[in-house]
Amino acid sequence: MATLDVRPIMAAGKEPFDAIMGAVGGLQPEEEFELFAPLDPVPLYQVLGAQGFSYETEALGGGDFRVVFRKRGSEMAVRQSEPLVGRAAELAEFSPDGFGRRILTETDRFRVVIAALEDGQEIPLHAPPLDMVMTIVEGIGQVMAGDQVHAVRAGDVVIVPAGQTRGLRAIGGRLVTVNVVSPPPGPGHHAGSATAWPVDEEAPDVGALILEEHAGLFPHLDHMGSLASDATTLGEDELRTRLREVLAFLRDDLLPHAREEEVSVYPAAEKVLRAVGGATRTMSVDHRFVGQMVGELSGLGEGLLSSANKERIRRLLYGLQALLQVHFTKENEVYVPLLNRLSASERHQLHDRLSGGDGGHPNHHKES
């Protein structure tokens, strides 16, 4: 997409017409022309319209406008002559100056377009005489459909009948949608609506609540580590007393905490993970801790093997054993079964890499 920002030109008191015509003159039939201007360039619509250009206008605020012109030329400029298969998030085209859009295909009956919004960007509210079906394919946001605002995430579908208000905004990250509009929009169909986005409802910070609870649990982990260090030197009565204290924490606090997370926190997080990805990041946290523990163990192995350092080595080895047992079990039970659901080509590529080819890490775990 060719882009021209005439705001600096006009701010300098110069006429941007020649620069605009020079930019559109070199366009190929499949290309679009993106114009940024400090006003709605109404006279330009007629000039370029006579040359076969359609346009879509977006008000950016502060009096600025973004206009995308497209030279229709032949139907082949927007009509797919061959099947198109691809991930919408990879086909999307983002723009820092306003929501990005990419027309995949268009006929005289409908248009299919991918809308790509950076965090905080929005498609302004408008109410064209067009039916629209919107599928959220990545991210989380809000959609105005008619007179209601709805929270949406990847997997949701929105249908807005002709003449009703629609708009979209990204919240907390990128948002990608595939929109089917019928009939294709024309000049003026993206003009702003008199309807305004309502004020967001205030909501509590759930993350802060959970972090506060976790902060109260960490000291108990230190007590457990201390007991592990002292267990072989304590008398029977003191060992039983301290063990009862640890068990009371585990039974009365930790296990109920874990059960509540299974019921409420994890299902809620799963909804977001489906939209934004990142389901394997917890495994990467395991890897980070393993790396830190291996580094500390290496340093102790090179230093003075005092009684204190021997005890630290013992605790690190026990810790690594437990962490790695849990880590491999999570991989075996949760992630490994998913891999055979990849496509055949993806499985070949992954197998080649894991086997030591294609720049991957060779398998060092085979028995000799």
**What sign does the dihedral 330-211-249-286 (CA atoms) show?**
positive
Q: Answer for the pair 117, 141: CB distance below 8 angstroms, yes or no.
A: yes
Query: Which DSSP state fits 74?
Result: S
Q: Give the helix/strand (H/E) hosting 228.
A: helix 206-230
Residue 129: count of CB within 10 angstroms of its CB: 12
What's phi and psi for 43, nearest 5 deg? -60, -30
Averaged pLDDT score across all residues of the chain: 85
Q: Please give the pLDDT value at position 254.
A: 85
* 1-73 to CATH, choices 3.30.110.40, 3.30.70.260, 3.40.800.10, 3.20.20.70: 3.30.110.40
Instruction: Please tell me the class of the 78-196 domain.
Output: mainly beta
Detail the DSSP E strand segments found in 276-323: none
Sites in the chain below the pLDDT cut of 50: 74-77, 364-368
Q: How far apart are CA 80 and CA 61, in angstroms?
A: 35
78-196 has the same fold as 1-73:
no
Q: Please give the pLDDT value at position 115.
A: 95
Q: Answer for the pair 212, 204: CB distance below 8 angstroms, yes or no.
A: no
Q: Please give the pLDDT value at position 365.
A: 47
Q: What Rg, from alpha-carbon coordinates, does the chain have?
A: 30
Structure tokens at 100: 């990005």
Q: Answer for the pair 38, 11: CB distance below 8 angstroms, yes or no.
A: yes
292: left (phi over 0), alpha (psi -120 to 50) or beta: alpha
